[in-house]
Amino acid sequence: MSYIDGFVMAVPTANKQKFIEHASHFDHLFIELGALRVIESWGNDVPDGKVTDFRRAVQATADETVAFAWVEWPDKATRDAGMKKMAEDPRMDPNNPENPPIPFDGKRMIFGGFEQVLEVKA
């Protein structure tokens, strides 16, 4: 089964287009390094929870929208190799003037790798 990297971040709502441009620039690199697909999502039905929720998880403010993304890899070995190459790739360097600036506070982004245990399709 596939291996999934998941990301949740608080993005200033005014930066939606910048977020899309940033993702478009970098998501192609995931594919180049072996990912099967990358999905970027913009929150439009993210309710407040009673104990915790997506907004609290990333300390989103009233002027921010929660974005959710995931990268699907064929397996963990491909993901590990791809992420290692990505970390070494100058196209990922935030100081590279050719790269679009990160349009959100990366310190509040949460992320992790997940082993797929079940898949149900229509």
Each residue's pLDDT tens digit, 4-47: 999 999 999 999 999 999 999 889 999 999 999 999 999 999 99
21 close to 100: Cβ distance less than 8 angstroms: yes
Give the number of other Cβ atoms within 10 Å of residue 66's Cβ: 19
Domain locations in the chain? 1-71
Record the pTM. Answer: 0.90
What is the identity of the amino acid at 30?
A: F
Q: Which of 115, 17, 13 is nearest to 55 (CA)?
A: 13
Residue 31 in contact with residue 38, Cβ under 8 Å?
Answer: yes
The answer to whether 93 and 26 are in contact (CB under 8 A) is no
Q: How far lies 97's CA from each of 54, 86, 89, 104, in Å? A: 32, 17, 14, 17
CATH of the domain spanning 1-71: 3.30.70.100
Mean of the pLDDT values across residues 58-63?
97
